[in-house]
Homo-oligomer: A and B are copies of this chain.
Amino acid sequence: MIEDMSKKSPNSMLKLRRVAIDTYHENVAYLHRNCSLYRAEGFQALSKISIMANGSRVHAVLNVVDDEHIVSEGELGLAEQAFAQLDMEEGQLVRVEHAEPPASMDAVRRKIDGQRLRLEEFQQITQDIIDNRYSKMEMAAFLVSCAQGGLDREEILHLTRAMIDTGEQVHWDAPLVADKHCIGGIPGNRTTMIIVPIIAAHGLLMPKTSSRAITSPAGTADTMSVLAEVDLTPQKMHKVVSKTQACLAWGGRARLAPADDILISVERPLGIDSEGQMLASILSKKLAAGSTHLLIDIPVGLTAKVRHMNQALRLRKMFEYLGDRLGIHLEVVITDGGQPIGNGIGPQLEARDVMQVLENDPDAPADLRQKALRLAGRILEFDPDVRGGQGYAIARDILEDGRALKKMKAIIEAQGAVDADFTPAKRMTEICAASDGVITSIDNYQMAKIARRAGAPMDQRAGVDLVKKLGAHVKKGDVLYRIYAEFPADFKFATSLAEENSGYTIGSEDEVPQFYMEI
């Protein structure tokens, strides 16, 4: 390929132009229909092209333009994402040619045919993905091939290693770097923001990076951003950690397992559940972040991601298998995923719950407090000096005597406090019980969907605030939850969604599901 370029005619050079279109995770290039290069090369709309200059190269999907205001005949337009990647000035000359399909698509096709892939093949695939050689549909093909035929545990190990290898890795100068992860699906489940200050107050290192919500109403990073800056440079993050033993930052800056971020941007909207992808995604991020000890929380419930106990147990075995081979100390707890945790759903409402717990407010949601303490207890027991079974009591002491709150304040201070404002969004409606009885189910999906429609996570103050939880006795007309929204369209849309299906079922006492707590 590289050799051929010298043979190319000079008319393959075009002037670079930045096109102010945000194409999200996809690189898009724009050529004018009368561009001599387009005519000569026989490019077709949506074919992929390769753009080179100063030794760097980006790949982009081609759109053809008939408007000089966007690009003229001698120009190559690049949408924001692609332009940023090329790292050049407008007006500089770039070379354009047909992009070959990524070589690793051969491996994807073999996977579609039901074959096993080797480590090198996963490495080629992840490298091609972070080099932007994969189109969205090629990524979808890869994801479905992994979801359908499935990856065996050896392949998941390969994929995890490949995702780690193709990104940056953080190293902490500490023998024990604690981390936790919840496989998700439970709205309001913001235990991390309580656990991290407890663990750090005990003296263990817990530099936590989290994602922002993609399809959920709030991620830990979204919720923390209500209280503090979360978009930290790696330098800043290290400074915060050396000062406070912890951080609660957004992980998007650090290029940890970047292939995973790109794949997730395709996987989530598709709604494909690939167990192998999920395992590789979680573990690659944790290992790249330098964690040595990891607690995995698997909530089980009929409207949770994991619906049955046997599935949770199988996942646990897989985590254990992979953790051992990847050299990370890993434990799995299976928790109750039968309803949202805490009361708030949405960044600000969840931040409020977290602060109530840390402040030992008597109104703090008891389930969030309990769950956070139990998980924190398990992490504390990673410490060789903590006797098995003593973790919970230590965690509770740290919370109750205010050390956790103090640590949280220190973390917020170190990251950069923002003006936390707990006034909810200005539009509010109450969803009420349609009959007398007992709450027998709360649909996690539906509650998350209503909160999203209300504007969360983009509008921090939007979301849902639960008043009644499972097992509560209600009278007809009692408030079940409140919906908060900033904007009229969102407010109406969320309200009509809740009116269609409130997410709550009211029945009799004996229908209330029995909880099982962590195992």
Residues in B neighbouring A271, C-beta threshold 8 A: 101, 105, 109
* A20 at the B interface (CB under 8 A): yes
| Pair A20/B137 contact, Cβ less than 8 Å | no
| Pair B270/A492 contact, Cβ less than 8 Å | no
Q: Smallest CB–CB gap between A14 and chain B, Å?
A: 13
Q: Smallest CB–CB gap between A348 and chain B, Å?
A: 15
Q: Give me the interface of A with B, judged by CB distance under 8 Å.
A: 4, 7-9, 11-12, 19-26, 28, 30, 33, 37, 39-42, 44-47, 63-67, 69-70, 79-80, 98, 101, 105, 109, 112-114, 135-141, 143-145, 147-149, 265-266, 269-273, 455, 458-459, 486-490, 492-493, 496
| Pair A45/B65 contact, Cβ less than 8 Å | no
Q: Smallest CB–CB gap between A439 and chain B, Å?
A: 27
Q: How far is B11's CA from A70's CA once the two chains are assembled, in angstroms?
A: 27
Residues in B neighbouring A459, C-beta threshold 8 A: 42
| Pair A46/B24 contact, Cβ less than 8 Å | yes
Q: Smallest CB–CB gap between A183 and chain B, Å?
A: 18
| Pair B46/A270 contact, Cβ less than 8 Å | no
| Pair A65/B137 contact, Cβ less than 8 Å | no
Residues in B neighbouring A488, C-beta threshold 8 A: 9, 11, 40
| Pair A112/B26 contact, Cβ less than 8 Å | no
| Pair A41/B490 contact, Cβ less than 8 Å | yes
| Pair A70/B137 contact, Cβ less than 8 Å | no
The count of identical subunits is 2
Q: Which residue from B41, B105, B140, B266 sits with its C-beta under 8 Å from A489?
A: B41
Closest 8 CB pairs of A and B: A137-B140, A24-B45, A20-B67, A24-B46, A20-B66, A140-B140, A40-B487, A42-B458
Q: Which residue from B26, B148, B269 sits with its C-beta under 8 Å from A145?
A: B148
Q: How far is B455's CA from A44's CA once the two chains are assembled, in angstroms?
A: 11
| Pair A137/B21 contact, Cβ less than 8 Å | no
Q: How far is B66's CA from A459's CA once the two chains are assembled, in angstroms?
A: 21
Q: How far is B64's CA from A149's CA once the two chains are assembled, in angstroms?
A: 36
Given contacts A137-B269, A140-B144, A144-B140, contact A69 B66 (CB under 8 A): no
Q: Select from chain B the residue with minimum beta-carbon distance to A500.
A: B4
From A33, A147, A270, A496, residue with most partner B Cβ within 10 Å:
A270
Q: Which residue from B8, B41, B136, B492 sits with its C-beta under 8 Å from A137?
A: B136
Q: How far is B67's CA from A133's CA once the two chains are assembled, in angstroms?
A: 27
Q: Which residue from B12, B21, B65, B66 sits with its C-beta under 8 Å from A30?
A: B21
Q: How far is B290's CA from A411's CA once the two chains are assembled, in angstroms?
A: 72
Q: Which residue from B109, B148, B266 sits with its C-beta under 8 Å from A114?
A: B148
| Pair A23/B46 contact, Cβ less than 8 Å | yes
| Pair A489/B8 contact, Cβ less than 8 Å | yes
Residues in B neighbouring A22, C-beta threshold 8 A: 33, 45, 63-66
Q: Select from chain B the residue with minimum beta-carbon distance to A112.
A: B148
Residues in B neighbouring A458, C-beta threshold 8 A: 42, 44
Q: How far is B270's CA from A30's CA once the two chains are assembled, in angstroms?
A: 22
Can you give 15 contacting A-B residue pairs, CB < 8 Å? Answer: A7-B492, A9-B492, A20-B65, A20-B67, A23-B46, A24-B46, A46-B265, A66-B80, A69-B69, A69-B70, A137-B140, A137-B266, A138-B270, A141-B143, A144-B148
Q: How far is B42's CA from A272's CA once the two chains are assembled, in angstroms?
A: 23
From A270, A487, A489, A490, residue with most partner B Cβ within 10 Å:
A489
Q: How far is B23's CA from A151's CA once the two chains are assembled, in angstroms?
A: 35
Q: Which residue from B40, B64, B143 sits with its C-beta under 8 Å from A21?
A: B64
Q: How far is B65's CA from A20's CA once the two chains are assembled, in angstroms?
A: 6
Given contacts A7-B496, A493-B4, contact A23 B63 (CB under 8 A): yes
Q: Select from chain B the residue with minimum beta-carbon distance to A39.
A: B487
| Pair B25/A272 contact, Cβ less than 8 Å | no
Q: Which residue from B26, B28, B135, B144 sits with its C-beta under 8 Å from A144?
A: B144
Q: Select from chain B the residue with minimum beta-carbon distance to A68.
A: B20
| Pair B69/A12 contact, Cβ less than 8 Å | no
Q: Select from chain B the residue with minimum beta-carbon distance to A12.
A: B489
Residues in B neighbouring A270, C-beta threshold 8 A: 105, 137-138, 141
Q: Select from chain B the residue with minimum beta-carbon distance to A266.
A: B137
Q: How far is B19's CA from A21's CA once the two chains are assembled, in angstroms?
A: 12
Given contacts A141-B270, A493-B4, contact A44 B30 (CB under 8 A): no
| Pair A112/B42 contact, Cβ less than 8 Å | no
Q: Select from chain B the residue with minimum beta-carbon distance to A455.
A: B42
Q: How far is B272's CA from A295's CA once the two chains are assembled, in angstroms?
A: 40
Given contacts A135-B136, A266-B137, contact A490 B7 (CB under 8 A): no
Q: How far is B45's CA from A265's CA once the two chains are assembled, in angstroms?
A: 11
Q: Smallest CB–CB gap between A350 and chain B, Å?
A: 17
Q: Which residue from B30, B149, B272 sits with its C-beta under 8 Å from A109?
A: B272
